[in-house]
Amino acid sequence: MRFSSTVVILLSAALHHRVAAVSVPTWPAPSDELEDIMFLNTGYRARGFAVAVTPCSFSAQGDGRIAAAEWIRTAFHDMATGNVQTGVGGLDASLVYELGGDNIGPAFQTTFETFAPFLSTRSSMADIVALGVYTAVRSCKGPVIPIRTGRKDATKAGPSGVPLPQNSLSTFKQKFLRTGFNTTEMIAVTACGHTLGGVHAEDFPAIVPSGTGGSSNPHFDSTVRFDSQIATEWVDGKTSDPLAVGPSVALGQDSDRKVFGADGNVTMKAMAHPATFASTCVAMLQKMIEVVPSGTALTDPIVPYEVKPTGLQLTLSNGGTQLLFEGEIRVRTTTRSAGKIAAVDLVYKDRNGGSSCGSCTIKTTSNGTAAGFDDTFTVWWYLENVKGRSDRD
């Protein structure tokens, strides 16, 4: 395949289409639906998954809430009762059946309602929850969290045991270790999760009492973006994190204070450096969403196709003597200018690899452009009558 002038895609006349891709992945793949959801944020055929967390500070539920923070929190709560030793629980969307109780607040319900339109036989709710972490972090200018797919949805509630603000440090360590996180990782993943969002008075009235003149939804740090400020302010002694200072301390619900200082601030000092914070959060959030029930086979991380056929359709025409072949070809233009692609042609062969079809080239026309957080695409459309021949001819 060459892109300097014309994109040529080889298809078989038997219609077992195979794209001669520049690099992995090979089309088709089980993750194709999630790949669309992940990368087509705006423009032609946009899936719109990121709309609910764009900009970072946005929430359809109104002021004071940050949907991006709630998406990350949803993934954590879904994972947090897993057990890596027994293989029970983990990120399996069992949280759908566990709302209320230890999972306080409306955030989980509204998050699942936002995710519901993207649920299908090709995209499990558990994979969508994982994809929500990538989307929330990138929308808030954070790093790329690799997303592997293949999670299966639970059909009932899982075990209990999500970490709670009133837990002791030893209890925190035990609960995180159950999910595969040692003390250093416990500190890191908590900081990564608490770089966004805060505590809501309606959910924790004792920690954020009314009538005190402050915000009813105080944030964990002073910024609304995915950055190292949560660590910097903690290390500098300037934190306003409601789970580290204020009424939570006297109540014994100062969970961030307990966790952040668990190793004498070694981890938080390191994470105060922006590059370290970003790289650490990539590793920790990927590990978090990959705590899955035993028997779950996760794929390689999703990467955008260089060339991807979509919407392929065959219709018999002219009394069954011809096939009307319609579809679209999406070409990634992140590293190549769409203006330098003169044409996208489909060249098909018969089932034996021959060219007895006569004119075996299908021309396309540009149909629109799309974009994700980091990639751009142009889509070409085609509609062609392909002569058919029976096996008796």
Quote the CA–CA distance of 23 and 376 in Å, as a whole number: 17
Report the DSSP pairing between strands 42-43 and 361-363. Answer: unpaired
Which residues share a beta bridge with 368?
379
Tokens, residue 78? 């879904």
Longest dimension (CA), the chain: 87
- pLDDT the model gives residue 239: 98
Tokens, residue 373? 């957080």
The stretches in the chain having pLDDT less than 70 are 1-24, 211-214, 355-358, 387-393
- pLDDT the model gives residue 357: 66
Query: Angle at the Cα of 297 (from 28 to 190), degrees rounded to 5?
Result: 110
Query: Angle at the Cα of 277 (from 273 to 283), degrees rounded to 5?
Result: 150
What is the DSSP code (8-state) at residue 118? Answer: G
Collect all residues with Cβ–Cβ distance below 8 Å to 324 and sequence separation of at least 6. Answer: 314, 315, 316, 317, 383, 384, 385, 386
Quote the CA–CA distance of 383 and 39 in Å, as a whole number: 25
Q: How would you class 358 by CB atoms within 10 Å of its CB: exposed for 0-12, middle for 13-18, buried for 19 or more?
A: exposed
**Helix, strand, or coil (residue 278):** helix
Helix pair 274-289, 183-193: axis angle to 10 deg: 100
